[in-house]
């Protein structure tokens, strides 16, 4: 089937990144569930929970929970192509003894355009990441594209593709600036009018301007509209 071929191609691309990694490398799983509600033509809300866990670490296959995240976004539509969002995010790592808890405040501008079944998006995001002993100010830019894998219109039961490239710059008073790069490739299915399921891979090259860490994420996301 076409979407299976695309998924295998996706895996091949991300695996090639792994073999090129010369430094620290981990494989993690990330499972998320998101609820989206459109309150009006101009305002929508999103609540989500996410679990992240190690699958391969220190050259050993293992399972270890890293964190649990809970977050909320409020989005205001500015016009047909753009919207403005504000979010609050809580990450718990202390429970699993894998690092500091985090409170994150987010501001986001999103611009999208659709043509011949392809939807292109540019996202500009700023974040204030508040830890126990530091605050990090992070700027993010993402370019994304998604499209149906069968024709120009997505129907119930059909699959779609999502791909994105994102660059991140982190600044704080105590350490040198940190630059990250993320490449994400996913296949999704429109299971019903209100439910989507997405699976895919994300390759992260973190702090590559200082001492690069290379992580591969196996991602699963369910999105429910209510």
In a domain, 39, yes or no: yes
What is the average pLDDT across 147-169?
A: 94
Reported pTM:
0.88
**Both tokens assigned to 203:** 């390759």
Per-residue model confidence (pLDDT) at position 9? 55
User: Is 149 within the bounds of a domain?
Assistant: no
Evaluate if residue 11 carries a pLDDT over 80. Answer: no
> Is 199 within a domain?
no
Residue 3, pLDDT > 90, answer: no
Average pLDDT score over residue span 120-126 = 97
Task: State mean pLDDT over 56-77.
Answer: 96
What is the rounded distance in angstroms from the CA atom of residue 116 to the CA atom of residue 91? Answer: 39
- Residues with Cβ within 8 Å of 57's Cβ and at least 6 positions away in sequence, in order, are 26, 27, 64
Residue 80 forms part of a structural domain: yes
The average pLDDT across 196-201 equals: 98
Q: What residues make up the domain containing 30? A: 25-135
Could you give the number of structural domains in the chain? 1
**DSSP for 168-184?**
EEEE-SSS--EEEEEEE
pLDDT of residue 116: 85
pLDDT band at 21 (very low <50, low <70, confident <90, very high): very low
pLDDT (0 to 100) of residue 6: 53
Residue 109 · residue 82 · CB < 8 Å: yes
- Per-residue pLDDT, averaged over 39-60, amounts to 96
Token pair 């866990």 is at which residue? 53
Is the residue at 181 inside a domain? no
Taking only Cα atoms into account, the Rg of the chain, rounded to an integer number of angstroms, comes to 18
CA angle 89, 91, 95 (to 5 degrees): 155
Question: Does 41 reside within a domain?
Answer: yes
User: What kind and span of H or E run contains 89?
Assistant: strand 82-92
In the chain, how long is the greatest CA-to-CA distance?
52
Domain-located, residue 144: no
pLDDT in tens, 98-120: 999 999 999 999 999 998 889 99
Question: Where do we find the tokens 């204030």?
Answer: 128
Q: Is residue 90 part of a domain?
A: yes
- For residue 207, the model assigns a pLDDT of 92
């Amino acid at each position: 089937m076409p979407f299976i071929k695309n998924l295998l191609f996706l895996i091949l691309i991300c695996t090639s990144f792994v073999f090129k990694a010369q430094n620290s490398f981990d494989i993690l799983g990330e499972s998320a569930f998101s609820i989206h509600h459109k309150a009006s033509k101009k305002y929508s809300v999103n609540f989500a929970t996410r679990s992240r866990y190690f699958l391969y670490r220190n050259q050993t296959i293992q399972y270890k929970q890293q964190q649990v995240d809970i977050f909320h976004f409020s989005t205001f539509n500015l016009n047909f192509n753009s919207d403005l969002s504000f979010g609050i995010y809580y990450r718990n790592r202390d429970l699993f003894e894998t690092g500091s808890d985090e409170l994150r405040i987010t501001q986001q501008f999103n611009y999208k355009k659709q043509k011949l079944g392809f939807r292109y998006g540019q996202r500009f995001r700023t974040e204030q990441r508040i830890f126990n002993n530091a605050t990090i100010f992070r700027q993010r830019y993402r370019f994304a594209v998604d499209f149906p894998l069968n024709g120009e219109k997505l129907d119930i039961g059909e699959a779609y593709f999502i791909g994105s490239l994102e660059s991140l710059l982190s600044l704080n008073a105590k350490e040198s600036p940190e630059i990250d790069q993320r490449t994400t490739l996913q296949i999704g299915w429109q299971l019903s009018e209100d439910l989507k399921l997405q699976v895919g891979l994300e390759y992260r090259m973190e702090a590559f301007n200082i001492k690069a860490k290379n992580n591969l994420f196996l991602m699963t996301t369910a999105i429910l509209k209510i």
